Amino acid sequence: MRTNSPQTITIRAFAKINLDLQILGVRPDGYHELRTTFQSIALSDTLTFTKTRGPFRIECDDPSCPTDQTNLIWKAAGRVLRLARRRDAPSGVTVHVEKNIPMQSGLGGGSSDAAATLRALCVLWRVNASAAELQHAAASLGADVPYFLEGGTALGFHRGDLVYPLDDIAPAWAVVVVPEFGVSTKEAFAWWDEANNRRERRDRQQRREGKRRANDLEAIVAEHHPIVFKLVHTLFRNGAFHASLSGSGSAVFGLFRRRSDAQATARLLAGPRTFVTPTLSRKRCLRLAAT
């Protein structure tokens, strides 16, 4: 986190991929019990928090990104005030967001921005929160948000919000392909619930394909968007040692040992939203967050 002056803080919010994602069941609250492995990648949004007069404001270079109270950045600002035992609404800060992580892609952009906001505003507003308080505030914002306080390679349990840091994986290059459509997480889990009722059919389909997928949502999302399977197959065919849907999609990634192999595959897949980006260790994630 860079403190340009006491008035401004700039922080990078990194995206994640899910190396795997298992759905263990449906919880009484309607959420899904998960076991997932999160991994940071270098694709990032950049958030600049500046003390200003007047109301809380969010400015974003991407016009499709909401800048009102529905944005998790706004909600995170409210949580920081609660941590300071204040009841007023956020004010006196303008947040500029340089948005590079595509929305509704399963790369966690909104959640990462929210975690970055918790960290930055605790500094800007001099709020002393314990790690446990921050984790709790993060979990109240969304299932993925606690992971982004951690970064690197980590296991997520429960809704994905109970996070256990793991040893970092060996560095790799990710080719991330984001199709032109987005997938709503809520909708993807609802598709999974529906499919649960016709599970036998899906199991037969998986047996036919001869392999279990790393992400339990992949086959369901591919039923609605067949391009997902095609992309995963293409990434494997071109030498990826691992390829999968990320989260609930729509992004698909492949991992490569060598940058040149990743770049060659990305050229082949050429699209406006195809990225070649390294995986990040927890240490690098924290260091680079400070831009």
Interface residues with ligand C5P (CB under 6 A)?
31-32, 34, 142-144, 159-160, 185-186, 189
| Residues carrying an active site annotation | 16, 144
Q: What share of the chain is helix, strand, coil (3-state, %, to 5)?
A: 35, 30, 35
Could you give the maximum distance between any two Cα atoms of the chain, in Å?
A: 62
29-44 in b/e burial notation, b at 16+ Cβ within 10 A? eeebebebbbbbbbbb
H helices of 90-184, in order, are: 109-124, 131-141, 145-150
Instruction: Give Cα separations from 15 to 18, 126, 218 (angstroms).
Output: 10, 26, 19
CB 115 within 8 A of CB 145: yes
| Cα separation, 255 vs 271, whole angstroms | 18
C-beta of 143 vs 255, nearer to ligand C5P: 143
Tell me how crowded residue 248 is: count the other CB atoms within 10 A of its CB. Answer: 26
Q: Which helix (H) or strand (E) holds 177?
A: strand 173-177
| Minimum distance, C-beta of residue 276 to ligand C5P, in the bound complex (Å) | 27
The CB-of-241 to ligand C5P minimum distance in angstroms stands at: 27
**Residue 106 or 151 with smaller CB distance to ligand C5P:** 106
Nearest distance, CB of residue 169 and ligand C5P, angstroms: 23
Cα–Cα nearest to 175, from 111, 89, 247, 239: 239
Nearer to ligand C5P, 144 or 168 (CB): 144
| CA angle, residues 148, 156, 256, in degrees to nearest 5 | 75
Minimum CB distance to ligand C5P, residue 192 (Å): 8
Residue 191 Cβ vs ligand C5P, minimum distance, rounded to whole Å: 11
CA distance 231 to 228: 5
Nearer to ligand C5P, 38 or 189 (CB): 189
Shortest Cβ 247–ligand C5P spacing (Å): 9
The three-class DSSP label of residue 39 is: strand
Q: Which residue lies nearer to ligand C5P by CB, 111 or 238?
A: 111
